[in-house]
Structure 1
Amino acid sequence: MKILHIIHKPQNRGAETFTCQLSHHLLKLGHEVKIVAIYEGCANLPYSPTIENLMASTSKKVIDIPAWKKLAKIVKNFNPDIVQANSGDTLKYAVLSKIFFRWKIPIVSRNASEVGRYLNSFFQIRLNKFLYKNVDWIISVSQESKKDILNHFPFLATKIEIIPVGLEKNVDIDFIQLYPLEKKHLVHVGGFSFEKNHFGLLNIFELVIKEEPQVHLHLIGDGPLKMQFIKEVQNRGLEGEITFYGFVSQPLPYIKSANVLVLPSIIEGLPGVLLEAMYCKTPVIAYNVGGISEVINSKTGTIVEKGKELLFAQGIIKIMTDPDQDQIAYAHKMVNSNFMNDQLALSFVNSYQKIIGLK
């Protein structure tokens, strides 16, 4: 088969990273793959073939005929069996290019988050309804993501399935020394966006260090809210208690070396960083949003209802004081059994074959 993947832009976020990892496995399985980005980006994504770019205008997100035309030309020249839209504006560009320039390839939309959280106006609801009316299949990342999209667009019920996010196999993950040496270490991996709730994490961290001063917070990632967050850290006098790393291409050693991975996000699909922590045998604690409860339960980690900052802080302290080794081992086994990309790629291939058979 020939698969054309569309990504929002070259950026170090989960949707783009997973698309690149999936594409590598599809290539290994003997399929032809091309990745196209809508917008410019500076990230060095983990994909060795060239990623083409539509160079779309960020000021013409509603009507961008030149970019639609360029995508249509790529579709015509590559002649894929499947076009997969991977989050961001990808579905909009795929559908409008297909309608305007009349190409016939089936469109698959990968639903990697909770769509309803982004439908803030009548126009957005109507536009997304129109777009989803013109897709052939939805691959949702979790049961909750599926439930969310069907709550808003129930007509999708007959053309949706679930394939989770996955991990690459890493035989050897280095242990690195986190500083200060005398402290225990919390790590958070994620871009500084409102979904990741860094300001809520700061509240939680303050509650933790009031009870356990010998704790340090490590933040991996960049993003639009980073400078605002740094100013808030300075306002609270916490500069010495938090280390910022920026983007890290290989965060697994930091995750493996920490005492706890924390994820108080307010919007998620199925975050790969939780699976990475389980793979590294690092205890996890997260808010119960999106598909998180599908991987975190009493057997695999600690889950807290969204907004319960005191309970989250207490959970962190309990994990640091008495980590549950049976829980850690069970989580590690679960990830290895159910969430590895080489196996998930086969699920995507099965879906593509099914969709082609429907046409």
Structure 2
Amino acid sequence: MKTIALFFPSFEVGGVEKVMIALANQLKSLQYEVVVIAKDKGVLRKLLYANVEVVDLGNRRIRSSLFFLKRILQKYKVDCLISGPDFPNFISIMANMFSRKKVKLIITQHCYFNIETKRLGIHGRIFPFLVKLLYHKADVVVAVSDGVKNMLKQMGVPAEKIIRIYNPIDFSLISKMACDNIDMDETFDKYIVYVGRLSYVKNVLLLIRAYALFHEQNTTYKLLIIGDGEDSDNLKHEVKRRGLSENVLFTGSMINPYPYIKKASLLVLPSLSESFGNIVVEAMFLNVTVVSTQTAGVNEINGNTDSIYMVSSFHDEGVLSDIMLYAISHPKDPKLLRIRANYFDANFIINEYISLL
């Protein structure tokens, strides 16, 4: 069988990392030789199958791992390299350019070059330039949504090299993890949940403001915020300022949020931008009604199914609050949620990747 390498930053909590782990596990279960090249640290490490070999980047930063990656590709006689997100893609392309024996290179694009990358300063400005300069040298560019595919075409990536493959979600693993016991304060019997980074683009401040309005009309449900990030302190301060400390719980990041999602009455995703939205599909699979801002990625997940409550405003907490109030009393049909979620099952989507190898 072919040897497949996957190159990504680490096993820290993140959507890209979950996708890469799911791919590695699926490929290994299909008897491919699989090598993961990443920093061997992070809570998601436990999700990777024990028989998948990991080559540790150690203290190397992604941007300085070019020649290390080149050596690993040669040492393991890699046939195909799958990388993501942006920096690993750039390094993978250059490592392949400098190698005598080329590997088949599949790079994956997981985000838009918009709000979030613009906030990265010089790196945010150079990313689009590097995409135009390098991406056409990959064999295949996988876009995780049609929106991302269209963005790449507009940036000059040859259309014939781009293929849209939705993120594979490992539902068998989620089913097992969702059955774990949870240690929850008994006062949090009924709650709304958010899961994700606490960063500007995730727009969690809007959710807190909307929840404050929600709480004025419905005191039954509390708010559980799972995740961490640079906005954590500011968000906690906002909760305290509004006198909601007894009603809003911050848990920090966790390897297994699924029992908490499964028990929730509602999941809210208030993001300014989402290229896909793994957590939305995961919640739907667990029969949890979802309220989301109308980002391009979540719009694609919803499709024509009306399985998600979509919010047109990214800044009006009143609009979000009203839809949350309605959704709580009008949950979506669990059968509809599960049917739509299964469209993104890793067992099916892996075949789209296999066709590229």
2:145 maps to a residue whose letter is: S
C-alpha separation in 2, matches of 1:279 and 1:199: 26
SS of residue matched to 1:281 = coil
Q: Structure 2: where are the runs of 5+ without partners?
A: 119-123
TM-score for the superposition, normalised by structure 1:
0.87
TM-score, scaled relative to structure 2: 0.87
Deviation of the 1:331 alpha carbon: 1.7
Equivalent in the alignment of 2:171: 169
**What residue in structure 2 maps to residue 128 of structure 1?**
131
Determine which of 345, 348, 352 is the counterpart of 1:347: 352
What is the aligned partner in structure 1 of residue 54 from structure 2? Answer: 51
Question: 1:262 deviation in Å?
Answer: 0.5
Among candidates 92, 95, 98, match of residue 94 of structure 1: 92
TM superposition shift of 1:341: 1.0
Q: Give 1:6 shift.
A: 0.5
> More displaced, 172-181 or 90-99?
172-181
Question: Which residue does 1:217 correspond to in 2?
Answer: 223
| C-alpha contact 1:177 1:257 (8 A) present in aligned 2 | no
**Do the aligned residues in 1 keep the contact of 2:212 with 2:242 (CA within 8 Å)?**
no
| In 2: Cα distance, 1:311 partner to 1:176 partner | 32
**Is 2:254 the counterpart of 1:251?**
no
CA contact (8 A) 2:168 2:350 kept: no
Match of 1:14 in 2: 15
**SS class of match (1:295):** helix
Alpha-carbon distance between aligned partners in 2 of 1:124 and 1:89, rounded to the nearest angstrom = 9
Cα distance in 1, alignment partners of residues 330 and 184 from structure 2: 20
Deviations 1:204-242 (A, max 9, x none): 212211222332001112223323322332233321111
CA drift of 1:102 comes to 4.7
Q: 1:146 matched to which residue of 2?
A: 149
List alignment gaps of at least 5 residues for structure 1: 353-359
Residues 40 and 253 of structure 1, relative CA distance in 2, 3 Å threshold: closer
CA–CA distance in 1 between the matches of 2:33 and 2:322? 50
Q: 2:308 aligns with which of 297, 301, 305?
A: 301
Amino acid at match of 1:109: I
Q: Contact conserved, 1:3 with 1:34, CA < 8 A, in 2? A: yes
Q: Percent identity?
A: 22
Report how far residue 122 of structure 1 moved. Answer: 5.2
Rounded to whole Å, the distance in 2 between the matches of 1:133 and 1:119 is 21
Per-residue Cα deviation, 1:95-119 (whole angstroms, up to 9, x for no partner): 2222345551122111122234455
Moved more, 103-112 or 282-291: 103-112
What root-mean-square deviation, in Å, do the aligned CA atoms of Structure 1 and Structure 2 show? 2.4
Q: 1:324 to 1:122 in 2, by over 3 A?
A: closer
Change (3 A) 1:72 1:260: same
- The count of corresponding residues between Structure 1 and Structure 2 is 342
CA offsets 1:18-43 (integer angstroms, 9 cap, x no match): 21111111111111111111x57433
SS of aligned partner of 1:348:
helix
What do the CA deviations read for 1:264-288 (whole angstroms, capped 9, x no partner)? Answer: 1112121111111111111001011
Higher mean C-alpha deviation, range 115-124 or range 224-233: 115-124
